[in-house]
Amino acid sequence: MSERLTVAKTYKLYVGGKFPRSESGRSYPVRDAKGGFLANAAQASRKDVREAVVAARKAFGGWSGATAYNRGQVLYRVAELLEGRREQFVAETSAGEGANGKRAQAGVDAAIDRWVWYAGWTDKIATVLGAANPVAGPYFSFSVPEPTGVVGVLAPQASSLLGLVSVLAPAIATGNTVVVVASQDRPLPAITLSEVLATSDVPGGVVNILTGRTAELAPWLASHADVNALDLTGAPESMSAELERSAAGTVKRVLRARPTEPDWTAPPDISRLRAFLETKTVWHPKGT
Amino acid sequence: MWEYAPAPESRDIANLRPSYRMFLDGEFVEGGGEPLKTVNPATEEVLAEVSTANSSDVDKAVKAARRAHERVWGRMPGAERAKYIFRIARMIAERARELAVLESLDNGKPIRESRDVDVPTASAHFFYHAGWADKLGYAGLGPDPRPLGVAGQVIPWNFPLLMAAWKIAPALACGNTVVLKPAETTPLTALVLAEIVQQADLPPGVVNILPGAGDVGAELVGHAGVDKVAFTGSTDVGKIIQRTVAGTGKKLTLELGGKAANVVFDDAPLDQAVEGIVNGIFFNQGHVCCAGSRLLVQESVADELLAKLHARVSTLRVGDPLDKNTDVGAINSREQLDKITSLVESGEAEGAQRWTSPCPLPEKGFFFAPTVFAGVSQAMRIAREEIFGPVLSVLTFRTPDEAVAKANNTPYGLSAGIWTDKGSRILWMADRLRAGVVWANTFNRFDPTAPFGGYQESGFGREGGRAGLEAYLDV
C-alpha cells in the first residue's frame, strides 16, 4: 500500500480577517533551514500594505473601545487555541528555524505562555501607568494610557513564532491594531498563527499579517500617513535609519531595533506595552 | 463697561541690563556667534544685546555637560540632587516679580499672566521634580531607572521661562545634565534662570544655556555627544528634528503644534463656557500650542453663544503688557504678526465671516485685535492650520458623534475642551477625543503633577507627572 499523499497548505496573507493572495499575484518559495522547499508564500506588495492599513484603521475603534476585560479574554482565547495546535507549530518552527524538537517545543510553549502573560495585562496596565494627579487647585485630574493607533510591526527575522508573538501581543493587548510584516525567510508560522487568530475571537482587522520582502514593504509602512507607530525590530539593519527618517514625516512613534535580535525566551517586562501607549490627561473643576 | 486707569507694573523691577551673556560650564561668557538684539514686542525698542553661541560653543557646552554628568551629577545621590533642585524652585519664587516683569518685557505677554501663571508654575515645576530625584525607583518605570546623560533641549518663545522649567527640572531630577537653547526672540528669563542656577551653586556644566537662532538648535540636536533631545515648537521643525535624530539612538521627545477643538454642547452653562472659550484662545495672545482654536458649537445654541462671545471679547483690553489690567498683550514678533495676518486674510478669502473686536490698539508695537471667524468649514486653512494667535474659528455640529468626528479631524492631537452639564457625556467625549489633554468645563490648566503632551503630529512623550519622567530615564 502506498503512503497517503498529504494535502499541502496554501499560505496566503491575512488582511481584515480574510485570507487573500497578494494583489500582485506574486509568491516566493520558503525553504527550511537546510534549503529544502517548504511552501510558496504570498509576496505582498505596496497595495497590500495599504489595504492592511485600511483594515487596521477600520478595526481600531472597536478594538480600542472594547473593555480591557474583553481584550484580556480574547488574548487568552488565542493561547487556548494555540495550545490545541501546539504540535503543528512545533513542526513548523522546527522546520523553518532548524531548531531541534526540544528547543522548538520550548519556543512554542513560551509563545503560548506569552499570550497568557499579556492577556493578564490588558486590565492592569492602566492601573500601573495611569494616575490621579494631585494638582494644586480645585480640579479632578486623572491620566490614563490609551493605544497609539495603527502600529506597523516588522516582526523579528529569526524567531518566527515566539519573537512574533512577543512583539504582536503587547501591541494589541493595549488596544492598538497592527500591520505585521512577518519574518521574510520564515513566514509560515505567522500565517498559521493568523489562522488561529481568525478562529479565535480577535476581530478581523486587529491583526493583519503580510508575508514578503521586508525591505520592499517596510518603507510603505514607515511613510504611510495613517500608521501611527512603527516597530523596527525586524528591520534590516541597513534600512533602520532611513525608515526612522521616513517615519518622521507624520511624527510616528518609533520603537528602534536593537543591534541583535533579543533573546525572546527571557521574561518580558512592560516596555513593549509602554511603547505604543499615549497618556491622556483629563481635567474637571470641583465645586458645588 | 468700566473705564480703567492705567495700572502699570514698574519696568525697573526687571533689572534689565544692556547686555546678557550665555551660560557655559558654570560661567557667563561671550558667545562666538553674532550677538542678537532682543526686542520688546510692545514697543519695538531694543531691550538688550545677547551673545549667541556658535558651533564651537555648542561643542564646549555639550562636553562640559558630559563632564558634569560623568564626574558629579550622574553619580550624586538623588537626595543631594533633590536639594539643588529645591533651591532653584525657591529662588525662582524669591525673584518672581523680577522674572515676571522681565518675561512680559521680552515676550509681550500680560503681566497678569507672567505673574500668575508662568513664573509660579515654573517654580512649582522645579519643586515637584526635585522630590522625584531620590524616588525614581518608585516611578513604576522599572527597577533600576538610569539617567540618559546629556540632554539637548530647544524651547519656544511663547512661555520662555516656563518651558525652560519644563525641560530642565525633570532632566536634572533624573540625573541628566542639560544644554538648553532658548528661543531667539525671548532669551532673557532663561539667562536669569542661569543666574539662579549659579547662585544655587549647581556644579559647573550641569546646566548650560546657549542663546541663538535655529542654527544653534540644529547644531545642538545634531551633536553626537547628546544622548537625549527634547524639543517644544512647531510640528514642521519637530519633523526635521525627528529626521536628524533618526538612526542615532538618541532618545527623543517632541511637544509640537495643535489645533484643539473646544466643544460646546447645548446644555453647557453658556456664560461659563464663554469664559472658557476666551481663556482657551486669547490666553497668551493665542500663542499656545494647546489653544482652543477651533470652537465647535452645537447648532441650536450657536447664535446665542456667538452673540455672548462677541460681547465678552469686546471687553478684552489689548495693550501694554506691563499694565495689570491688560488681557491681551503684544504678538511676540513681527514675523508672527505677519503669519497671523496672512492666515486671517486666507480665512476671509475662503469665505468665513470675520468679526474683530473694536478695541483700540496701541500705535506702536505688534498687536492683533481678537478675532472670531464664523461660518468656518473644515477645509479652510483657518480650521486646519495652527494660527498661534488671537484668532478663533467657529464651526457647528448637530450630534455628539459629529462633534467627535470633527474634533478628531486633524493630524494634530494635543488638547481638547468639552462644555456640558452632563457628566456621562463628558466621560464619553473624553474617551473619544484623540488628544493628550482634555479639559472639561475648564481650559488651559497646567500643573507639574499632570502629564502634558500630544497624540499624532502634536508630538510624543509627556511633560509632568510620573509619565514625564520616562523622557529622561533609560528604562
Considering CB atoms only, which of B431, B436, B475 is closest to A281? B436
In a domain, A178, yes or no: yes
Considering CB atoms only, which of A251, A253, A269 is closest to B238? A251
Could you report the average pLDDT of every consecutive run of 10 residues in chain B (475 residues)?
86 97 98 97 98 98 98 98 98 98 98 98 98 96 94 98 98 98 98 98 98 98 98 98 97 98 98 97 97 98 98 97 97 98 98 97 97 98 98 98 98 98 98 98 98 98 98 96
Q: How far apart are CA B472 and CA A184, in angstroms?
A: 35
Mean pLDDT of A184-202: 96
C-alpha distances (whole Å) from A208 to each of A81, A144, A169, A199, A204 are 18, 27, 13, 14, 8
Contact of B441 with chain A, judged by CB distance below 8 Å, is answered with: yes
B413 alpha-carbon distance from chain centroid: 16
Mean pLDDT of A218-232: 98
The grid cell for A10 is: 496554501
The grid cell for B467 is: 509619565
| Start-to-end Cα distance in chain B | 57
Active-site position among B184, B255, B457, B463: B255
The confidence score (pLDDT) of residue B1 equals 61
For B48-76, how does the pLDDT look when each residue is reduced to its tens digit (9 = 90+)? 999 999 999 999 999 999 999 999 999 99
Whether the per-residue pLDDT at A31 is higher than 70: the answer is yes
Considering CB atoms only, which of A129, A135, A251 is closest to B460? A251
Contact yes or no for A137 and B247 at CB 8 A:
no
Select from A150, A162, A187 the least CA-distant residue to A16: A150
In a domain, A20, yes or no: no
Find chain B residues with C-beta within 8 A of A283's C-beta.
Answer: 437-440, 442, 445, 450
Percent of chain A with pLDDT over 90: 95
B203 alpha-carbon distance from chain centroid: 28
Q: Cβ contacts of residue A269 below 8 Å, gap of 6+?
A: B142
Q: How close A123 comes to chain B (CA, Å)?
A: 16
Q: How far apart are CA B210 and CA B231, in angstroms?
A: 15
β-partners of residue B417 are B262, B439
Nearest CA in chain B to A268: B142
Which one-letter amino acid corresponds to residue B47? L
Contact in structure between B103 and B161 (CB atoms under 8 Å): yes
Contact residues, B window 386-425, toward A, CB-based 8 Å cutoff: 411
Q: What is the CATH number of the domain that holds A141?
A: 3.40.605.10
In a domain, A231, yes or no: yes
Select from B246, B346, B26 the least CA-distant residue to A245: B246
What one-character DSSP code corresponds to residue B250? -
Q: How close B354 comes to chain A (CA, Å)?
A: 31
Question: What are residue B181's phi and psi, to 5 degrees?
Answer: -110, 115
DSSP string, B426-467: HHHHHHH---SEEEES------TTS-B--SGGGEE--BSHHH
In a domain, A28, yes or no: no
Mean pLDDT of A72-94: 97
Contact of B140 with chain A, judged by CB distance below 8 Å, is answered with: yes
Query: Which residues constitute the domain of residue A57?
Result: 37-285
Find chain B residues with C-beta within 8 A of A219's C-beta.
Answer: none
Q: Cβ contacts of residue B234 below 8 Å, gap of 6+?
A: B256, B257, B386
When pLDDT is cut at 50, 70 and 90, the band that residue A259 belongs to is confident
Question: What are residue A141's phi and psi, to 5 degrees?
Answer: -130, 125
In a domain, A25, yes or no: no
C-alpha distances (whole Å) from A80 to each of A84, A109, A200, A201 are 7, 12, 9, 11
Indicate the SS3 state at residue B66.
helix
Q: How far apart are CA B182 and CA B160, in angstroms?
A: 7
Find chain A residues with C-beta within 8 A of B142's C-beta.
Answer: 269, 271
All structural domains of chain B: 11-256+455-474 (3.40.605.10), 261-440 (3.40.309.10)
Contact yes or no for A280 and B435 at CB 8 A:
yes
Contact of A199 with chain B, judged by CB distance below 8 Å, is answered with: no
Q: How far apart are CA B164 and CA B87, in angstroms?
A: 16
The confidence score (pLDDT) of residue A74 equals 98
Mean pLDDT of A200-204: 96
- β strands within A99-169, DSSP E: 131-133, 139-147, 150-154
Contact in structure between B106 and B38 (CB atoms under 8 Å): yes
Mean pLDDT in chain B?
97
Residue with cell 543591534: A259
What's the angle, vertex CA A194, arms to CA A191 and CA A195, rounded to 5? 95
Number of structural domains (chain A) is 1
Q: How close A74 comes to chain B (CA, Å)?
A: 22
The confidence score (pLDDT) of residue A288 equals 79
The confidence score (pLDDT) of residue A1 equals 57
Contact of B430 with chain A, judged by CB distance below 8 Å, is answered with: yes
Contact of A138 with chain B, judged by CB distance below 8 Å, is answered with: no
Q: How close B134 comes to chain A (CA, Å)?
A: 19
Indicate the SS3 state at residue B176.
coil
Q: How close A43 comes to chain B (CA, Å)?
A: 28
Percent of chain B with pLDDT over 70: 100
Contact yes or no for A283 and B439 at CB 8 A:
yes
Task: Produce one character per residue of B314-341: b if its CB has 16 or more CB atoms within 10 Å, e if not.
Answer: eebebbbbbbebbbbbbbbbeebbebbe
Active-site position among B219, B289, B457, B470: B289
Mean pLDDT of A246-273: 95
In a domain, A243, yes or no: yes
C-alpha distances (whole Å) from B434 to each of B7, B197, B413 are 42, 38, 6
Q: Tell me if residue B255 is catalytic.
A: yes
Contact of A47 with chain B, judged by CB distance below 8 Å, is answered with: no
Contact of A140 with chain B, judged by CB distance below 8 Å, is answered with: no
What one-character DSSP code corresponds to residue A63? H
Considering CB atoms only, which of B238, B240, B441 is closest to A284? B441
Contact of A132 with chain B, judged by CB distance below 8 Å, is answered with: no
In a domain, A3, yes or no: no
